[in-house]
Chain A
């Protein structure tokens, strides 16, 4: 991956300064979107520090699914704003992000799951999100390849159909944000790892990096997988446990599958990319780990579950599989906002398995928070204080987790 990226110069190398107003740790979609949105607001003395290359972490490892049919009003409002930004992002950034809104089907295999989908449809519709429960006949029209008979171990009873959902080219989102942010004056430094955070009188004073110290009054933790490690540098303990999440991709096939398919019962989601490959994801590995190694157990179980849904892909070969690492919070919701004990330290972390689809809205709202110094209402439910006050969110429609 790194070879072609180096040859195709999305970005210009920039001379690092010794001081910035804002230093953003993590060059994924979140960090780059924050940088771009800050620049749009006129805050341009900004540096994004990425220890590998931009999009090397979760932003380049997710299964690129975009949707807003969540279960809590807080979640739906948040992700819906993100979908709307994604819809105009290619025009806004001047970079084709290949957003294909082919629809999204959440399958229910039990009566309890159908009841859950009805609740979600009601919550979604109250927020103005296009989301409706459909029966087998309607599912067949949208996804004829699905096995809708009574033969599978878990027959499909109904589905939540979410037409604005779809898939996107996740690298393009990262590159588009990076390029535009850089054009607007933001510095993006790849291969620079933060090794310590400097505090002065209890507030943020800068960071130490593998490329020397950088002074900054505001430091944003926009890492995924390393949120606890970066926060610990500022003496902050987070309610996060890091788990691997695996995915695989098959050889390309002729287009036969329009919507994204998700089955919580079978712990699998599958979509067909514009190139024809099937991208298949699962639930998180059930133990804390920072390992990026993928496992045979994942491939075996995912393949078996996909075949329950789509028997016709039995002879299809797997091209590759990989893993990313996800920062899971106890309520499957992110932690966004300032840290009361450490002025100048801003969190945009805990994005679990749902971070990519929220990148644009998190970027816009965190930038608003930094630029204005006040927390936008849409971010308020996600503050770190919610754990001390017991105001957890409980987003039970998060993907890749069993409930």
Chain B
């Protein structure tokens, strides 16, 4: 196992039980220009630092939730069904 993630329902489990769902993004409004949608689809902050991302507990409760983690060390800082926006903006927005 590489590190543990504390599932809000199931408690600490090893990473292999989860599926990574990518950094949190803000979905554009439906009538946004194509360029906005293509940026939403492909561009990522990909921060080397504190990231907010979706994770799915595929081998447990099968619920999606959010994890705040330092991508440099894999240290999990906190988890929640939804996390409040980061003030630095790093990884919190697309």
A residues adjacent to B (C-beta < 8 A):
226, 228-229, 232, 237-242, 285-291, 293, 295-297, 330, 387-388, 390
Contacts and interface: CB of A to CB of B under 8 A. Distances in A.
A237 B39 contact: yes
Interface in B1-45: 1-2, 14-16, 19-20, 22-23, 34-35, 38-39, 41-45
Contact of A287 (B15, B41, B46, B72): B15
Contact of B71 (A239, A289, A388): A289
B85 interface: no
A288 B20 contact: yes
Given A287-B15, A291-B74, A390 B48 contact: no
Contacts of A226: 48
A288 B41 CA distance: 17
A230 B51 CA distance: 17
A128 to B, nearest CB: 33
Contacts of A238: 43-44, 46
Contacts of B74: 289, 291, 293
Contacts of A388: 34-35, 38
Contacts of B42: 239, 330, 387
Contact of B46 (A240, A291, A390): A240
A344 to B, nearest CB: 21
Contacts, number: 65
Main secondary structure of the interface of A (DSSP, over half): loop
Interface residues of B, number: 27
A391 B46 CA distance: 22
Contact of A291 (B35, B39, B41, B71): B71
Contacts of A228: 44-48
Given A228-B46, A388-B34, 8 more contacts: A228-B47, A232-B45, A237-B45, A242-B48, A242-B71, A287-B15, A293-B74, A330-B42
Q: What are the 9 A-B residue pairs with the smallest beta carbon separation, nearest first?
A: A239-B42, A287-B20, A228-B46, A295-B2, A237-B43, A387-B42, A290-B48, A290-B72, A291-B74
Contacts of A240: 44, 46
B35 A241 contact: no
B53 interface: yes
B73 interface: yes
5 contacts: A238-B44, A242-B71, A293-B2, A297-B16, A388-B35
A232 B2 CA distance: 29
Contacts of B51: 288
Given A237-B45, A241-B44, A291-B73, A297 B20 contact: no
Contacts of A288: 20, 22-23, 46, 51, 53, 71
Considering residues A238, A242, A285, A287, which has the most beta carbons from chain B within 10 angstroms of its beta carbon? Answer: A287
B65 to A, nearest CB: 14
Contacts of B38: 387-388, 390
Considering residues B2, B15, B20, B73, which has the most beta carbons from chain A within 10 angstroms of its beta carbon? Answer: B2
A226 B46 CA distance: 9
B5 to A, nearest CB: 10
